[in-house]
């Protein structure tokens, strides 16, 4: 009956105590775990806070270092840009000097070539390959060589200016990028946890774009700096070269110009001396011609003067040939008259021979006079060409230091 009265769904008191103990133990265990979790959470919060602050501080320091590094390289680029711009401006003045020098060579060359053309108008014996012509040809050769050298140097200068501008462009682009990067990093450095309008940027963690390593970043700027330095050094060397060339060509042009002028002066003096000697000879020939003309006149008069004596003698002989009979005697008178006629006739022939010779000499003197007069005209023509056309034209030659 007792078994029948017991409810099979009821638990034993011991189970009740056990269940309570288990609840207590479970609760205390849960509480303990919760307390540990709270303690661990506070420790974790504190640890993460410190880590976050340290990390943010490190980032700030690195950001500051990066800003200083950018500023340093930006200053380097600014310096190199200023230098390359300065060198390019100076090189442009050197280019202008080369252009003026090149232009300044054209007139002397034209004058030298005109002198050569003018001197082709010399005639006769004066059309000679003399010292003046040799020096003029050398002057043309020197000037053409100088023009070719200046042309090559001008091309080299233009190429160097182009390279300088290329280096300047690279510096400008690098500086522009550095300025943008510095502006961005300045903005980043100004951000704090309390800055308003800061946002989540989930995509910021994606490494998109062409990121470069710090070494590549430095190398890139170094290349631009080294390129600018190289072009600046090349510009300095080119300027020294141009200075040397301009100085040398001015000296060469002056030296050759003076050589030509000296040759002209010497040649003009030689021609004047030759002309003076020819004029002296001409005066002598003209004096001799006058004397010969007087001599011919005297010979003619002498021949004429002998006509009367020969007529007298021949008239006497003719008259005595009419003597009668034995009176027609070949006496001493007749013999003397015969001798007289023969003598006078012979002397007249001698005078005629002398007259013919004198006339021949007079013709020779006339030919000599014409020859001398023509030669003097040749010398006058040469003097006009050398002294008037060429030397006066060369007075306008001005060789400057460029």
Q: Encode pLDDT of 358-376 as tens digits.
A: 999 999 999 999 999 999 9
Flag whether 397 is in a domain: no
Domain tally for the chain? 1
Assigned domain for 235 exists: no
Q: Is 305 a member of any domain?
A: yes
In a domain, 214, yes or no: no
| Cα diameter, the chain | 256
Evaluate whether residue 375 is within a structural domain.
Answer: yes
- Cα 110 from Cα 402, distance rounded (Å): 20
**Mean pLDDT value of segment 218-234:** 94
Measured distance CA(328)–CA(386) in Å, rounded: 84
State which residues form the domain around 360.
282-322+330-384
pLDDT of residue 209: 65
59 in a structural domain: no
Q: For 241-247, what is the mean pLDDT? A: 95
> What is the rounded average pLDDT for all residues in the chain?
90
pTM: 0.76
pLDDT in tens, 29-83: 888 888 888 888 898 889 888 998 898 889 899 999 999 999 999 999 999 999 9
Question: 216, 159 in Cβ contact below 8 A?
Answer: no
Sign of CA dihedral 154, 160, 164, 167: positive
Q: For residue 166, tell me if it sits in a domain.
A: no
**Residue whose C-alpha is closest to residue 127's, from 320, 309, 382:** 382
pLDDT at 141: 96
Reported as a single tens digit per residue, the pLDDT across 93-151 is 999 999 999 999 999 999 999 999 999 999 999 999 999 999 999 999 999 999 999 99
Would you state the pLDDT for residue 257? 94
Angle, CA of 350, 353 and 357, to the nearest 5° = 140
Mean pLDDT of 295-321: 89
Instruction: Say if 110 falls within a structural domain.
Output: no
From first CA to last CA, the distance across the chain in angstroms is: 143
């Amino acid at each position: 009956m007792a078994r029948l009265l017991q409810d099979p769904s009821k638990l034993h008191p011991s189970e009740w105590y056990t269940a309570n103990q288990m609840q207590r133990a479970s609760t205390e265990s849960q509480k303990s775990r919760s307390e540990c979790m709270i303690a661990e959470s506070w420790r974790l919060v504190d640890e993460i806070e410190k880590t976050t602050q340290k990390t943010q501080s490190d980032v700030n320091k690195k950001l500051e270092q990066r800003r200083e590094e950018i500023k340093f390289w930006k200053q380097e680029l600014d310096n190199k840009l200023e230098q390359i711009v300065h060198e390019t401006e100076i090189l442009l003045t050197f280019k202008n000097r080369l252009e003026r020098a090149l232009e300044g060579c054209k007139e002397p060359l034209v004058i030298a070539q005109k002198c050569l053309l003018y001197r082709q108008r010399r005639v006769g014996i004066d059309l000679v390959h003399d010292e003046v012509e040799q020096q003029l040809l050398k002057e043309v050769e020197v000037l053409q060589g100088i023009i070719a050298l200046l042309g090559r140097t001008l091309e080299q200068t233009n190429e160097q200016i182009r390279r300088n501008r290329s280096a300047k462009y690279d510096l400008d682009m690098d500086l522009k990028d550095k300025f943008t990067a510095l502006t961005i990093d300045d903005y980043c450095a100004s951000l704090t946890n309390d800055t308003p309008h800061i946002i989540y940027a989930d995509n910021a963690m994606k490494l998109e774009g062409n990121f470069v390593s710090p070494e590549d970043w430095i190398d890139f700027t170094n290349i631009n700096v080294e390129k600018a330095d190289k072009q600046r050094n090349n510009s300095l060397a080119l300027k020294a070269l141009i200075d040397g060339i301009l100085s040398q060509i001015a000296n060469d042009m002056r030296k050759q110009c003076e050589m030509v002028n000296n040759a002209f002066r010497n040649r003009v003096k030689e021609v004047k001396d030759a002309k003076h000697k020819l004029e002296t000879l001409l005066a002598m020939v003209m004096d001799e011609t006058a004397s010969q003309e007087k001599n011919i006149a005297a010979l003619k008069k002498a021949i004429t003067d002998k006509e009367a004596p020969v007529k007298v003698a021949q008239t006497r002989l003719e008259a005595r040939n009419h003597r009668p009979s034995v009176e027609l005697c070949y006496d001493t008178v007749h013999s003397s008259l015969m001798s007289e006629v023969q003598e006078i006739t012979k002397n007249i022939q001698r005078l005629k021979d002398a007259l013919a010779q004198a006339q021949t000499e007079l013709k020779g003197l006339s030919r000599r006079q014409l020859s001398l007069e023509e030669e003097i005209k040749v010398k006058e023509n040469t003097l006009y060409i050398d002294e008037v056309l060429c030397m006066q034209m060369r007075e306008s030659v001005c060789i400057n230091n460029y």
